[in-house]
Amino acid sequence: MARLFGTDGVRGVANRDLTPLLAMQLGMAAATVLGNGNHAPHILVGRDTRLSGDMLEAALVAGLCAAGARVTLLGILPTPAVAYCTKNSQADAGAVISASHNPFEDNGIKFFSVDGCKLPDKTEDDIEALVRDWERITRAQGEHIGSVQRDNEWVDLYIAHLIASTGCSLKGMRVVVDAANGAAYSIAPRVLSQLGAEVIPIHCTPDGININAGCGSLHTESMRRTVKEQRADAGLSFDGDADRVIMSDEHGNEVDGDCIMAMNAIYLKEAGRLRNNVLVATIMSNLGLEEAMSKHGIRLERTKVGDRYVAERMRELDAVLGGEQSGHIIFAEYTTTGDGLLTALQVLALMQRAGKPLSELTKVMTRYPQMIRNVRVRDKHAWERYDGAKEIEAGVLQQLGSPSRMNIRPSGTEPVVRIMLEATDRTLMEQVIGELEQAVLKVCGKPEE
């Protein structure tokens, strides 16, 4: 039986894969496990702007209360805000209803532990075991049934935290904000305005259906175009739950997570704040990042894809900075998880302190041509089981020559196999990645219609 929890909680098509019944079962199981079976836990709940959010929130909260939990509803709030509130309150855990960068039809539920970190696999396994046998969960009776309250004060405390982390005014800056019609639609313009920036908002009018639709961190074209049209200093594109950000310089050039990490790692080292001179990134980060870090005496440590794996390795190494090319960046001095808005503020503050445009700061890194192909398949794990995979991959690297890199892996959240190539010959890469896509489809099967 497939594992219920993926790399970022439980996720699927709302009302087909992730039903109100499953959400209720998750609530009952989570309340039991997170309360250690011996007390009524206090659990914070936030969500993004998806149409299915109200439905799933009601079901999740019903399950939490049925198992005796006390629930505080935070409303529409970025995922990292829920993590921050969980860590800095007296709550036992936090829960977020969101499918991040996925289309509006999808939704998900993920949990944070008392320290604001994503749950370890063991805890998720314990919750999942109870979900699969939920009838044996003890149901609260009488005065022990859980209660629900709303609390909007935490939003203000989170905003104060973001402003304090920035450390300078952004007065004089013009910033385009693309909130992907998601969780940051209100809070991002508000924070930037309070810091003195002139905000040009786009995709900040959610209707429950338009989240991530042709906008946000996966579709930065309109943001970058607006930066050029409005002669802005920078642009920000968040995803649906605002745990990641992709930026634009003043010329409309995309600035991804690798470049954001490079700039900040070098700054932190020069400021004496890059503990152990290490930056944690994933196997998807560009060779150019590795070379830039080596040039500045910074060790690059790679992990599997997923900000939870980055966060775990950062804790093991006592690192203060880590992240993903996709824009999940963790500044451990301020947060326990990827935070798109906090990340954007660190870059804008760096621009202010340096007195340089973003296009100048990004020159610290020269990236190798990279191609990524997302292949929708029937069985995303078949390539890992295929005996001929290693031979094909070795042949591809020989064909691309040195320096080159390749990674073929299943997505943690979608029925997709991701192919990544890096090399110096873009034309050759185009040919090779097409051949690889056909090989993957042959092994993994085309998706069912």
The tokens describing 292, both together, are 């830039």
CA 159 to CA 405: how far, in whole Å? 40
Distances in whole angstroms, Cα of residue 311 to Cα of each of 182, 260, 351: 24, 17, 26
**Residues catalogued as catalytic:** 100
Contact residues for 379 (Cβ-Cβ < 8 A; gap 6+):
444, 445
Are 181 and 49 spatial neighbours (Cβ–Cβ below 8 Å)?
yes
The tokens describing 167, both together, are 């450390």
| CB-based burial label for 384 (10 Å; 0-12, 13-18, 19+) | middle
Sign of CA dihedral 6, 7, 10, 12: negative
